[in-house]
Amino acid sequence: MGRGRAAMSLTVLKPGLLATVQDLGRYGYQKYGVAVGGAMDEPAARVANWLVGNEDAEAVLELTLTGTELRVDQDMWLAVCGGDMGARTDAGEVVPLWRPVWIAEGTILSFRHYQSGCRTYVAIAGGLEANVSMGSRSTYLRGAIGGLDGRTLGTGDRLEIRQRGREALAIDKLEVSSSGRLKWPLWHAGGFAVAPREVHTVRLMQGEHQNLLTAEALRNLYHEVFRIGPSSDRMGYRLQSERKLKFGEQASELITEPVVHGTIQLPPDGNPIVLLADRQTTGGYPRIGQVASVDIPVFAQLKPGDRIRFYSVTPIESERLKLESELDMNQLRTIIALKLHHKT
């Protein structure tokens, strides 16, 4: 089915701490200095889209920690995945996570009570209408492109919803339970949620300049517990620990080279920086590690003060873990599609 003009909408009553429109990012422009961007927790965004019959790359809302309040202007299907912000309606009904949910016109949806994680993704059947820049609707705040004029959501913004395709229309026939203004199926797809832990383990490959660390610093890299610093953002997470990492020889005047998602740089202050979705495309700090791509979504759900520990893996192990994860994701997508079409 083709796409027509937007037929439904959400109104932003309160924007919250940091709410933006995101998709899977803009590729092919890093050589021009344009960040890839996109959803910080890509698996959560993808699953949210699948649950409402959308393709992977449809635009979703990325909400951070707390404070967002939306009014549903017409009946619609949505899915809430990722961090748990205690989504509730104005009638006090709890919105279940990781499943398609039908919500009635006029309902006010609030994300006010942080419970776990850091970022929540809201997908709407049909997808969000937003500015397309270089092939993506993702908001890149530093470049002021994509999303809603390249900015965060604001009070009074009206988020238009694109017309649903064939897969998204199939949801209307789901067998559901109901509670007031909400309806949802009993099954869910929460297997890709980042589980709360006292200390998260993140797998790390050796970086090009890791051999420049002192022997003590190298031990600390893999044995120290790091805290997420307060100045962390979508561009990068700054890690703090009691023991600073140091180099055994001069490494501060390196040639600027390309960096990628999950690259760990070490500036002169000895506190590592993990580069994330809105990272710069090049960097001159020593690159001491590369986070295994399968673990990058972990950072999306960590907030300042949360703790991590690195575990060493080889590139071959990292590739195997990623392939296994994608096989699991593909299996989940197939199961969701069968559920939406009642082929149980």
């309040």: which residue's tokens?
69
Distances (CA, A) of 83 to 115, 194, 275, 277: 8, 8, 21, 17
Mean pLDDT of 9-25: 96
Per CATH, the homologous superfamily of domain 200-313 is Cyclophilin-like (2.40.100.10)
257, β-bridge pairs: 283
The pLDDT assigned to 138 comes to 97
154-180: average pLDDT: 88
Lowest-pLDDT range of 244-253, 263-272, 280-289: 244-253
* pLDDT of res. 114: 81
**pLDDT for res 295:** 96
Q: Is a pLDDT exceeding 50 seen at residue 14? A: yes
Instruction: Give the mean pLDDT of the chain.
Output: 92
Provide φ and ψ at 264, rounded to 5°: -110, 115
Backbone angles phi, psi at 189, to 5 degrees: -135, 55
Q: What is the pLDDT of residues 273-305, one digit of tens each?
A: 999 999 999 988 999 999 999 999 999 999 999
**pLDDT tier, 2 (very low <50, low <70, confident <90, very high otherwise):** very low
Q: Where are the domains of the chain?
A: 9-193, 200-313
Would the pLDDT of 210 be above 70?
yes
User: Using CB atoms within 10 A of its CB, is residue 56 exposed (0-12), middle (13-18) or buried (19+)?
Assistant: middle
Rounded-to-10 torsion of CA 104, 109, 115, 116? 80
Classify strands 177-179 and 182-184 as parallel, antiparallel or unpaired.
Answer: antiparallel
pTM comes to: 0.94
- Residues of the chain with pLDDT > 90, as a percent, come to 81
Answer whether residue 227 shows pLDDT above 50.
yes
For the residues 124-134, what does the mean pLDDT come to?
A: 95
